[in-house]
A and B are shown apart, each in its own frame.
Chain A
Amino acid sequence: MTEKLSAETSLRGYAGVLTTQKLPYGLVPAELCPVIHCVKSLNHLADRDVVALNPNGYVRTLFRVASEHNVLFATDRCNSFCLMCSQPPRDVDDSDRLSEHLRLIELIDPRTREMGITGGEPTLLKDGLIHIVRKCKEFLPQTAIHILSNGRLFYYGSYAHNLAEVGHTDLMVGIPLYADTDHEHDYIVQSRGAFDETMVGFQNLGRHGVAVEVRVVTHRLTVHRLENLAEFIYRNLPFAAHVAFMGLETVGFAVPNIETLWVDPWDYRHELEQATRYLADRGMHVSIYNHQLCTLPVSIWTYSRMSISDWKNEYLPICSACTARERCGGFFSSSIRARHSEHIGPFEVLPA
């Protein structure tokens, strides 16, 4: 990675070259290492970041040292088709990406605190996912691994068992659950039988001692039975290490489905308060993500986390006058443009 490259620069030992310069053809012999020139900007990259260079000149940043939110995109495929999917799946054969993932893990800074594995649906890599976790255990023993999965393939007890067998000591599988009954959940994830598979998946992971997190996206189809869902979670998944209520992100499929999904967070603040309290009062570990403090009852502020990935986080102009801004989760940059609560208003004084 360089701003200035000349014929004298020694490139021995480099895996590739990225430069903003326009280079004369042949300056670097192609057999020495791949070179991509005329890159618009390299400001977002730092030492020890990992990038992938494509022969067509496409540069993908796979890992940023400066970020707390590094994610390995295991696959673009998915076996669900959620109405609000933020990363709409593509039906492509990307099974050859496994070797890239395994190579990436070797290159990641071992001091990394946390890394996500997401997709698409990572479990579609089948044993590949188990390889990835095993490799993480080997190369990144100090890095917490969070897999975001719909949990459906853990319906197969042997698969849950295989994941547990890796013996990763800081592994959590986050699995979305949208309803306390099957048809409602199946509708939201647009897949018949998904609820059953996910619920059995939860149980199998729990039985094998893999930590699980329950993720609930709050939108018009989930909020009216939110407390019932909390009760269902407490009764059926009391072993869950964490329950997260997540605000809707207006990207991906949420854009075309916005009329079906949108509800002003202000309008479900009581439901969210009830559900949060229900779980917290019973000793479960609860968080609220992607919500603005001015839409939340003060009694549940303590569960609200600053969670939005660093590169997606923004505030409205009126937020600059807000005394709660330091503690406020703010907005997704996508959502701030699309639609946000009509009840955003700064706190002149911080509520007690």
Chain B
Amino acid sequence: MPVPDSPYRGSLRRRFRLLPVAPSILLLLLFMLAPVAWSFYASFTDVALSGKAALNPQWIGLDNYARMLTDSVFPLSAWLTVVFVAVSAILGQNALGLLIALLMTKSGGATESFVGTAVIASWVLPEIVAAFAAYAYFSQDGTLNQLLGLLGVHGANWLYAFPMAAVILANVWRGTAFSMLVYRAALAQVPRDISEAALMDGARGWQRLAFITLPIIRGSIATNLMLVTLQTLAVFTLIWVMTAGGPSNASTTLPVLAYQEAFKLGDIGYGTAIASVLILIGMVFGTVYVRLLRRANQ
């Protein structure tokens, strides 16, 4: 009997090649997927940090999700999360990162390395340090108001009067370096001869950008958007240190709300339900970007 050839053998060999990575996949499942699965499970119970529900959590079905609809803070919080992601990640980090990368390819030399260092400095700081730095900058008697004072301007109490604007700016400051690095690498891949040919054809700067450069780095744009979106969705420390979600919930994004419910109020069930919604939002964004990416690669 003839042995069924290559397709089977090939796939078997390919499967064997997976063997060395199997342990890491198992660990990934154990440490990443298991907590997510537990969190989903907990969101259908009333498990709490203290009280009777800590001892005997009850299965309450969709009650936690139904509660979100009547919760006075949740809709606000979901909206603030969308604003935070749209303005600080998609517009801020992504667009600013691209702009800086483009300008750096133009400038070169000392300017390039100076700008590069300045931008990356905020990125290499651990999140907690960056958060305290941002707090020190925006707080009532912080750096910003002292600088304004030199100009004779009496600055506002930014964290109190404009909490969302402050955390958005802080997140842009902190995360732009990542986008910049991604775009620097992508722009370096754009073949010089195509740009030059376009130049010969009389294309202006913005035309070359819109019709040549951007379509070529489309894949990198989608990847970058996905990464910065997911990172920004999960931002907690920055907001917690700067405003703790206040005043009066004016900067409470979903991670902050989930933390407050789960750990400040001890309501783990409701907290994990909010976290589950956050995961779903992340998955929706992720799917959209993967679609874009696939189209870009076709």
Whether chains A and B associate is no
Q: A residues engaging B (CB < 8 A)?
A: none
Name B's A-contacting residues (CB within 8 A).
none
